[in-house]
Amino acid sequence: MGELEPVGYQHLIEYLNLGAKVRPLEAPAFLNGSVNQKVRGQNGFWYPRKTAVEQTLIGHVEFALRNEGVNLEVLEAVFEHLPEAELLRRLSESPNSAFVRRTCFFWEWLTGGNLAFDKSPSGAYVDALPEADYFTSDSAHTIRHPKFRVRDNLPGTPDFCPLVRRYALTDGPSLDELLDEADRTLEQVTDASLYERAVHYLYLSETQSTYGIEKEKPNGSKGERFVQILARAGEEERITEEWLVDLQNVIVRDAYAQEASYRTKQNWLEDGTGRITFFPPPPEDLQRAMQGWEGFINEHPDTGGYRCPNVLVRAACAAFGFVFLHPFLDGNGRIHRFLIHHVINGARRLKGGAIVPVSAVFLRRADEYLNVLNGFSRPTTRLWKYAPGEDAPHVTASPGGRPYRFFDATPEVRFLHAMLVEAVRTELPRELHWLSGFDSAFEQLNDELNIPRPDLSALIRMVQSNNGKLSSNKRKTFKHLPDEVIARIEDVVREAFAAASVQPDINGASHSSRSRS
């Protein structure tokens, strides 16, 4: 292997000492004299040493935009060190270069500055974000900037703009196709009263699952209130700080955890050993990021179309962006999962107001879910410098809001798509099968046995969740019932659930080793 020379974003990070301000690149670029073409090396991408790169800051920015794509996090950090004079020099030399014009556009877009360049380029308009590589804004929201002849097709604003590579959704069904499948599955429930119960059961199961991920079990009133909120997900309502505060007050465990606004102090997450696993942005940077996040999620078709028109992409970016920003001290994870429903339902509702039970799949795929969260939280938290404190860590340095405003949401989009596929094709039929089996067993046993309805319901669940047998431990709770009655319940439950080849985890048991509240 020849000697490696960092180029593009990696050169800029090393030359400007940005390692403490931006997250490491997933695949940095290097020049290597032993290769004749671009290849994937063990530590990134290698380019032939003969590759032309102007050895200036803007020269490496041009290389990065040409070969590595758009990294807003690094660009904003670099532009704090890139003199206007160097930009103007390069623009005067190559006023029609697409990469120079895009660099100038990004400089103004990210810094809010104004380059004093009177002579307008004459080249054709170019996209700020290559449409072939990224999900971009729709044509109704693309803004032409004649100064550099660049089309602003970014899906967000400088306050919040996650980017998603198109390869995130190259495989599998589209969201519309998945929702069509879900509707066809629901149409198999032909009895109107059973359908109504099925819809409510989906809400209840989703509520139990989303709390179960946090290792909590909602009490009756709080669980029912969350069910009611789920039923309203997607209604045309502008998401504001006040709206989110009201939602947070509904879902948190107790009144002491209820918020009156976005947080005004630093919070963090830690594991069972007390080790800090995640720092959300500092409170002084949170307000700007949340303002950008609200703008991202509130784009509405009445304005001519969404700036981020792909619904699944918008749902993933908004939901995961919210939990990364962590604007409350408690309840962020449950709101994050609710937002998935809110965005998807806002674009298209299932028959009868049903929902896709995605939290149930998150719960079952807890390790994968945690890996996606850690993919953002670990490298971001490493940018923080702190010392242990008696009540709170003593923070000496942080990256500010930049990593939280600009992140590559490609992994989050791919994960959400995979979870929705499983929710529609496996979890939804599973839950409908379970409800059908439960109803059949309950109806038959309720006619035969003189057992209070709540006890009968509990017995059916206990027997079904234990492979058709009431455990000896649970048997103690119902020691007043004769053995032959218990045996009859077990027989009927096994028979009723025989049609359901797979059963859902309706108790919300968490398999996660870490809470993301």
CA dihedral (468, 474, 476, 481) in degrees, to 10, reads -40
Q: Is 336 annotated as a binding residue?
A: yes
Sign of torsion over alpha carbons 38, 40, 45, 50: negative
Q: Look at residue 422 and give its three-state secondary structure.
A: helix
The helix or strand, by DSSP H or E, that contains position 98, with its residue range, turns out to be helix 98-111
Strand order in the sheet with 39-41: 4-7, 29-32, 44-48, 39-41
Q: Is 272 annotated as a binding residue?
A: no
Q: Is 90 annotated as a binding residue?
A: no
The helix or strand, by DSSP H or E, that contains position 40, with its residue range, turns out to be strand 39-41
Q: In whole angstroms, what is the distance from residue 394 CA to residue 380 CA?
A: 17
Q: In whole angstroms, what is the distance from residue 253 CA to residue 226 CA?
A: 12
Q: Is 331 annotated as a binding residue?
A: yes
Which of 326, 341, 342, 417 is flagged as catalytic?
326
DSSP assignment string, 125-193: PEESS-TTTB----GGG-EEETTTTEEE--SSBTTB--B-BGGGGSSS--HHHHHHHHHHHHTT---HH
Q: Is 143 annotated as a binding residue?
A: no
Q: Look at residue 96 and give its three-state secondary structure.
A: coil
Q: In whole angstroms, what is the distance from residue 377 CA to residue 373 CA?
A: 6
Q: Is 151 annotated as a binding residue?
A: no
Q: Is 401 annotated as a binding residue?
A: no
Q: Is 335 annotated as a binding residue?
A: yes
Does the active-site annotation cover 326? Answer: yes
Q: In whole angstroms, what is the distance from residue 431 CA to residue 363 CA?
A: 14
Q: What residues are paired with 7 via a beta bridge? A: 29
Of the candidates 137, 82, 133, which has an alpha carbon nearest to the alpha carbon of residue 110?
Answer: 82
Q: What residues are paired with 395 via a beta bridge? A: 386
Catalytic residues: 326
Q: Which residues are annotated as a binding site?
A: 330-337
Q: Cite the annotated binding site for ATP by residue number.
A: 330-337
